[in-house]
Each structure stands twice: as C-alpha cells, then as structure tokens.
Amino acid sequence: MNYKKLITVGLILCLFCLIGPAHALATGGGGAFGVPGAASTWSYAGKQGVGTAYEQYQDKLYSDTGPSGPISKVWFSIAQGIVTETAFGQINEAQIKDLQFLVTGDGFFDEEKVNTTSQIDYLYTDSAGRPLSLAYRVINTDPDGKYQIEKHIFTDPDRQSLFMRVIFTANDTNITPYILVNPHMNNTGSGDVGFVSEDSLSAREGDSVYMTLKSSQPFGETSAGFVGQSDGYTDLDDNGVMDWNFDSADDGGGNVALTAQLPTLNNESVTFDVVVGFGDSLEAATAAADGSLSDGYTAVLNKYNGVGSDIGWEDYL
C-alpha cells in the first residue's frame, strides 16, 4: 500500500474541508449548483413609474397592420430606482422580477437598489415640465460619490423588447459594474431555466416563453445561477470577485438570476444600451433584442414618444 499517496490524498481532502463552500473557488462553465434556489418573492410594491408603448386602434381594435405598426406587448415598472416587474404577452404576465446593477470597487460591493440614492423624472416633457410620454430618466448616485448610474427606460413600440440607455460614470478608479437580472418567467419565480453566452443572458419557462438580454457594451464574463446559492449577487458578495462562470442554471429549473460583467472604469464615463427581448422562442426573443439594438436609442425613443411622423405617446396626448 502506498502510504505516501494516501497521506497526500488525505491532506487534499482536509484542504477542501478548510476551504469550505464552493464559492471560494473559481468555477468555469458547466451547470450551476443549488437548485432550486431561494424561495421567490416579488419586488417592492411602491412603484415610482410604469410604462408601455402607445398603440393606436384600427377599426376599434389593436392590429399589427394599424397606423402605429406592430403591437408591442411589453409593460414595465420602476421601484427603488431600478426596473422591476416587466410583463410580456399580457399585462398580468410578468417575465422579470427586477433588473439592476451590482458595483464593485476597492473595498466595497454595492447593490444598486440598496446602496444608491435615487432620482426619477419623465424623460420627454414640454416646456412646462409636463410629461409627453411614459419614458423615464432615473439617476442613481453612490452616497460617497464614487459613481453615478443614469438610465433612460422605455419600450420599443414595434417589437417585444424593453430598452434601457445607461450612462455609467465612475468618479474613482477600479469601478466595475455588473448587470443582474432575476427572471420570473410566466409570472412565477420557480421552474425557470437560465443560460448564458458570451453576449447574452437568457431564460425560459418550459418552451412557451423566453427572454434574452443583450447590450451594446461587450460583456467580460457571464454566469447563470440559482438565487441565494450560485447567482452573481452571492458570488460577488463573498469577495467582490466574479469567480463563477456557469453556462446554465437548469436541473429542472428554479429561481434563477443571470449576471454579466462590464468593463472596469477608471475616472471615466461610458454610454451603452441594454435591451431585453421577449418571445415564444429563443430565436424570437433574440431577434427582438437585436432589432432594437440595431435601430438604436434615438430611433426607438422617437417612435415611443411619437416624434415627427412616428405615432407614439405625443399623438395620444
């Protein structure tokens, strides 16, 4: 018997015991652990804003061939300075619980909805400051002044997508933002499957409803996990480093969250767009997100607002 080998194996096992749970180790690829995750809840009920696209009737009915074009069936809400319940299909069919940023820097880890002060206003107003559409400007600021997150939030009136322009300003060095989205597909936070690629965060429940988040800003790392067990918040809260890069959170589904790392900023500001597409297939959800990103911020916002020949909220008002 090779006692030296047995001693070596024993030492390795002891080392793993001392290290403790898996989150202390870097993990690349594969499926996330911890199914089904924490029990799901809905977001804070004190909403700061709600929004959807204006769609004009044709013969007293909504129609994709009507004057305002294809019908968008996406509704969003805002609370605590972040996007909260977002519905697709029907107004009572939420697909997202919340969408926010996590931020790390030298000696700190922040959750946007908890660790910033928030201001909200309408994005499109008349000379008297009265709203002309249900588009919003949200500005969330770190109390110590290390960073500021400005977001312009609305939907694409011609697609099944949520649009968010982000202006992220770092007033210090080594500031890294992360996108964190908690899907609640088909109006529940259980039974969801999450999966990621190098440029997208996606989720589904069964094969009936899908969402895909994409950005004009390239992602560094991406990961899918189960809330409270292997998700991005739990990962970063441990040591401020994204150690996990799980490709999927499946094993029958659960309460999943999806995370994307963005480039580290050093006393600089970056502007980019984040779009969430929805559909009855992954292809449809991805096409919605890609289409909105391709059209771009100005074109989509003008359609939403009803600027010029575009039919939008200004036509309703």
Domain count, the chain: 1
Asked whether residue 207 carries a pLDDT value surpassing 90, the answer given is yes
Token pair listed for 150? 């400005």
Instruction: Give 143: exposed, middle or buried? Use CB within 10 Å, 0-12, 13-18, 19+.
Output: exposed
190, part of any domain: yes
Mean pLDDT (whole number) for 152-173: 99
Asked whether residue 78 carries a pLDDT value surpassing 60, the answer given is yes
Q: Which pLDDT value is given to residue 64?
A: 83
Tell me the average pLDDT of the chain: 92
The pTM (predicted TM-score) of the whole model is 0.90
Q: Is 40 within 8 Å of 66 (Cβ atoms)?
A: no
CATH code where residue 278 lies: 2.70.98.10
- Listed in order, strand segments (DSSP E) in 221-303 are 222-226, 244-245, 248-254, 256-261, 269-279
Amino acid letter, 31 = G
Q: Which pLDDT value is given to residue 187?
A: 97
Which candidate, 81, 201, 209, 97, places its Cα nearest to that of 141?
81
239, part of any domain: yes
Q: Which pLDDT value is given to residue 7?
A: 41
109, part of any domain: yes
Instruction: Give 238: exposed, middle or buried? Use CB within 10 Å, 0-12, 13-18, 19+.
Output: middle
2, part of any domain: no
Low-confidence winner among 54-58, 180-184, 187-191, 226-230 (lowest mean pLDDT): 54-58
Banded pLDDT at 67 (limits 50, 70, 90): confident
Which candidate, 156, 123, 124, 161, places its Cα nearest to that of 139?
123
3, part of any domain: no
9, part of any domain: no
4, part of any domain: no
Q: Which pLDDT value is given to residue 13?
A: 41
Q: What are phi and psi of 53, to 5 degrees?
A: -80, 150
149, part of any domain: yes
Hey, how many other C-beta atoms are within 10 angstroms of the C-beta on 218? 11
Mean pLDDT (whole number) for 295-311: 96
Q: Which pLDDT value is given to residue 27?
A: 63
Asked whether residue 16 carries a pLDDT value surpassing 90, the answer given is no
Token pair listed for 80? 């605590």
Range of the structural domain that residue 140 is part of: 27-316
The whole-angstrom separation of Cα 224 and Cα 196 is: 6
